[in-house]
Structure 1
Amino acid sequence: MMRILHVAAELFPLLKTGGLADVVGALPLALGAGGADVRVLLPAFPAILAGTNVEGEVARFDSFAGPARLLFGKTADGVQLYLIDAPQCYDRPGNPYHDAEQRAYADNHLRFALLGWVAAQLAQGLDGFWRPAVVHAHDWHAGLAPAYLAAAGRPARSVITVHNLAYQGVFGAETFAGLALPAAFFDREGVEFHGNLSFLKAGLYFADHITTVSPSYAREITTAEQGCGLEGLLQARSGQLSGILNGVDEAVWHPATDALLPANYSSEKMAGKAKCKTALQHELGLDEQDEQPLFVVVSRLTEQKGLPLVLDVLPELLARGGQFALLGSGDAWLEEAFRQLAHAHPRQVAVKLGYNEALSHRLIAGGDVIMVPSRFEPCGLTQLYGLQYGTLPLVRRVGGLADTVSDVSLENLADDCATGFVFHDLSAADCLRAVRRVFALWSRAREWKSVRRRAMAQDVGWQASAEHYLALYQQLIS
């Protein structure tokens, strides 16, 4: 049985700041269903520790980051976990990366280097304990794992998945000396990046294979436009770079079984979706009507997510009678702009700032259209949830959005393959054309229902993606 160790900083439902947690929570279960022996290595953040059934202690370390224990346990779903119990690193308030004032912790280089270092210790074997054949690191937090494996003579093969290339884990050069890596690794052919230490570059350089979370994003990050300064390295490693789409955890996200909804529904029995819309309108103080579409956004409020485009098109959207509801938090100016719109149009616009998992389910079920107009998007899970729930995605043709949504063009409608609304240019004018296509299709109820049925028929689960990962692991081991 193939032994796979995933290495990450968060895992749903124990701890989540974004889509990474959803992937790390679901992919191991899908790989396990495919016959692999999969375990996940995580920092023992308080929320992760509290949600784990700890069965015992595996090892103790005196590391460069201080003493640490390695614990073994399982989640309620049966995911097998190793937790790095180092209170001096992980037992603190705030989210995994920042304090309560959103300031990055000054010792993040130590906290996440420890994560990669322990992964390499497991790969080398701990007194005959479970030993992985492949170590799969996720994002910059685990980026040093392939470097520590390389320093140890590569006792396991390694994969790094880039969930978002824009976040690279860059620290001053002076931090390198305290991380127990060979001095020669601080080099252009290594972890050095413009005079600094880059965790993500370390992973990209030393991993045996690099994956991203969609085929289009794998191509895009080799260009200057989206390579974030790493396009040269990624071009050089293009033979070891591939894109595998994320999936949806259907045990958590499925309208027929979602316990967070006021009513369940399926593509064959859609009455529950109308009930979800009415309940959402009531909850948010919007006019309870079904004559016009309800657009929703569930997102971090950042430039990357294209939210300024939403602000640009909202006046016409509202003038046409549409409604709009948003859940998210982020840049202060975007929060304030959406808050002002809600104040000016209280019966058409609702804005909830912050993170609320249950409300995100109700928004996606109750909406008619989900907007994801990103500047760049490695994969995107929100549009996949929209497809699953019959809430048609309105997306920009980029990254994983381009790979998962087909526009309601005349030829796609004729071929019965349209699943949403796709625009190309990063401009308000092009986004507005997509909004107009929403209202045009909405006015033809039978065609709207046909597109919605096609959207809900898309296979967005993890099985196919898990099979791709298993094939990759087998290829690396062979």
Structure 2
Amino acid sequence: MKIMFVAAEGAPFAKTGGLGDVIGALPKSLVKNGNEVAVVLPYYDVVDAKFGDQVEDVMYFYTELGWRRVYVGVKKIVRDGVTFYFIDNHDYFFRGHVYGDWDDGERFAFFQLAALELMEKVDFIPDVLHVHDYHTGMIPFLLKEKYHWINAYKDIKTVFTIHNIEFQGQFDPGMLWELFGVGYERYADGTLRWNDCLNWMKAAVLYADRVTTVSPSYAEEIKTPAFGKGLDQIMRMESGKLSGIVNGIDTDLFNPETDPHLVTHFSVDDLTGKAKDKAALQERVGLPVRDDVPLIGIVSRLTDQKGFDLVVNELSNILKRDLQIVVLGTGYADYENAFSWFGQHYPDKLSANITFDLELAQQIYAACDLFLMPSAFEPCGLSQMMAMRYGTLPLVHEVGGLRDTVESYNPVTGSGTGFSFNNFSGFWMTTTLDFALDTYKNHKDAWRKLQEQAMTRDFSWDSASQDYIALYQDL
């Protein structure tokens, strides 16, 4: 099959979160399976800085952005068999960051129109056009309502993936004619209207041939008022074409046997290197070097979504136990300040690293005993899979992708790959932590077996991509 992805970010070019990881890894796996894959991304200044000397100028053209005629540069690079096309316009994409500007609606309206017109110009007409999150959500609508007259496009099938339903792209309806150059009819009849706004995500869900999200549990959750962020009614209405496919991780990148960021390599058969990594991490972050104390890792954005209200409220209680915690991340100032305060007052127990450091993140995944991830909601989550790959057992709230990827330890059967609680409260999180600490200290064989089970779970994209291939073939 010929498959084209259109997204606002993709590793290794520009990445702010899980979407970037997916766009970096899934196309590569699809190519391994014999498909022809292209990816369309904006040409940000960060891409130019890192890859400017490697990209090739393909062409340029002009697109109609409402009443304006706007320049579209096209650049490309081929990596791992995937052709990446970049839409170049300095006014829109040389901003020093990916998102968060007052004119994001205009920037990504331009990007979507340019991506659709690019297909014919570079002669890549896909069987399946796979778009991601609200930044590309108008593409299925535009394909059917604006570009349907292009004969080459009439058989293209569309897939829309929701990575996080919280961000929906809600804009003034005047954008339809001022930027997209289409009429008012589909807004007037209610198709594109939601809460008196033009809602890009609603448009995508209604117009795409299939809608996926990044875990089966999240696909069920977004049909409910608690998780649907106001769109649950639409998700229930379109549930016949909605499914959940768990993301994979790049198992070449996250590999304890080869990871260049680790002090000592190790494997599922020989964990002695993990103990050395633990000692090196304790030394690096200024914690006492002890092999007998359980070390708990946190690598995250410090926000309510990630459950840090629970952690901060319970921290003085948790730190009464014989344990160590290493935190890496940035986020809400209240949480940053709280972790910093505890780090200063309990220097032997908590190390707060309020920054982002890729090397330190890898060392935390690899060296810790437990990995704490108590998210309030989690479409998929990748950190828990990365931690398991290194034999660091996750402690999670049973929600979304965390429920689908972490099997809770059952002391009767010995099954499991981590620990979980299903009632979102500090009490149950701490109770589950006590259960995990007891297992660590008093049931060493059971702990070792859990590590083995976690490290041998297959979270590779080569497995995850099979579900996407089945979906595309079905279309």
TM-score range, shorter chain: over 0.9
From the superposition, tell whether residues 425 and 126 of structure 1 become closer, same or farther in structure 2 (CA, over 3 Å): same
Quote the residue 2:246 is aligned against. 245
For the 8 Å contact 2:63–2:114, the answer to whether it is kept is no
For the 8 Å contact 1:163–1:213, the answer to whether it is kept is yes
Unaligned residue ranges in structure 1 (runs of 5+): 99-104
For the 8 Å contact 1:300–1:329, the answer to whether it is kept is yes
Q: Does 1:259 align with 2:260?
A: yes
From the superposition, tell whether residues 284 and 298 of structure 1 become closer, same or farther in structure 2 (CA, over 3 Å): same
- After TM superposition, give the deviation of residue 13 of structure 1 in Å: 2.1
Aligned partner of 2:159: which letter? V
Aligned partner of 2:355: which letter? G
Describe the superposition over 1:200-249 as per-residue Cα deviations: whole angstroms up to 9, x where unpaired: 22211211110000000000101111111111111111110000000011
TM alignment of 1:26-425, pairs within 5 A? 26-52=25-51, 53-64=54-65, 66-75=70-79, 77-93=80-96, 95-98=97-100, 105-123=101-119, 125-126=120-121, 129-151=123-145, 152-153=147-148, 155=154, 156-180=156-180, 181-187=182-188, 189-411=190-412, 414=413, 416-425=414-423
Comparing 322-331 with 50-59, which one deviates more in the overlay? 50-59
- After TM superposition, give the deviation of residue 179 of structure 1 in Å: 2.1
- After TM superposition, give the deviation of residue 350 of structure 1 in Å: 1.0
For the 8 Å contact 2:160–2:205, the answer to whether it is kept is yes
- After TM superposition, give the deviation of residue 90 of structure 1 in Å: 0.4
From the superposition, tell whether residues 50 and 3 of structure 1 become closer, same or farther in structure 2 (CA, over 3 Å): farther
SS state at 2:174 partner: helix
Aligned partner of 1:325: which letter? V
Aligned partner of 1:83: which letter? F
For the 8 Å contact 2:8–2:135, the answer to whether it is kept is yes
- After TM superposition, give the deviation of residue 173 of structure 1 in Å: 3.0
Quote the residue 1:448 is aligned against. 447
TM-score scaled to structure 2, two decimals? 0.94
For the 8 Å contact 1:295–1:322, the answer to whether it is kept is yes
SS state at 2:269 partner: coil
Q: Does 1:474 align with 2:470?
A: no
For the 8 Å contact 1:394–1:421, the answer to whether it is kept is yes
For the 8 Å contact 2:72–2:114, the answer to whether it is kept is no
Question: Share of identical aligned residues, percent?
Answer: 36
For the 8 Å contact 1:190–1:206, the answer to whether it is kept is no
Q: Does 1:9 align with 2:11?
A: no
- After TM superposition, give the deviation of residue 78 of structure 1 in Å: 4.7
RMSD (Å), alpha carbons: 1.6
- After TM superposition, give the deviation of residue 275 of structure 1 in Å: 1.3
For the 8 Å contact 2:63–2:113, the answer to whether it is kept is no
Task: Count the aligned residue pairs.
Answer: 462
For the 8 Å contact 1:189–1:205, the answer to whether it is kept is no
For the 8 Å contact 1:59–1:126, the answer to whether it is kept is no
Aligned partner of 1:96: which letter? V
- After TM superposition, give the deviation of residue 119 of structure 1 in Å: 2.8
SS state at 2:205 partner: helix
Describe the superposition over 1:435-478 as per-residue Cα deviations: whole angstroms up to 9, x where unpaired: 001111111212111111111111111112101101111111xx
For the 8 Å contact 1:122–1:131, the answer to whether it is kept is no
For the 8 Å contact 2:176–2:183, the answer to whether it is kept is no
Aligned partner of 1:264: which letter? H
Comparing 237-246 with 457-466, which one deviates more in the overlay? 457-466
Comparing 465-474 with 52-61, which one deviates more in the overlay? 52-61
For the 8 Å contact 1:159–1:210, the answer to whether it is kept is yes
From the superposition, tell whether residues 442 and 187 of structure 1 become closer, same or farther in structure 2 (CA, over 3 Å): farther
Aligned partner of 2:430: which letter? L
SS state at 2:116 partner: helix
Unaligned residue ranges in structure 2 (runs of 5+): none
TM alignment of 1:12-23, pairs within 5 A? 12-23=11-22
Q: Distance in 2 between matches of 1:426 and 1:188?
A: 40
- After TM superposition, give the deviation of residue 187 of structure 1 in Å: 4.3
- After TM superposition, give the deviation of residue 141 of structure 1 in Å: 1.3
For the 8 Å contact 1:110–1:179, the answer to whether it is kept is yes
Aligned partner of 1:34: which letter? N
From the superposition, tell whether residues 177 and 355 of structure 1 become closer, same or farther in structure 2 (CA, over 3 Å): farther
Q: Distance in 2 between matches of 1:449 and 1:161?
A: 37
Q: Distance in 2 between matches of 1:34 and 1:210?
A: 22
- After TM superposition, give the deviation of residue 189 of structure 1 in Å: 4.2
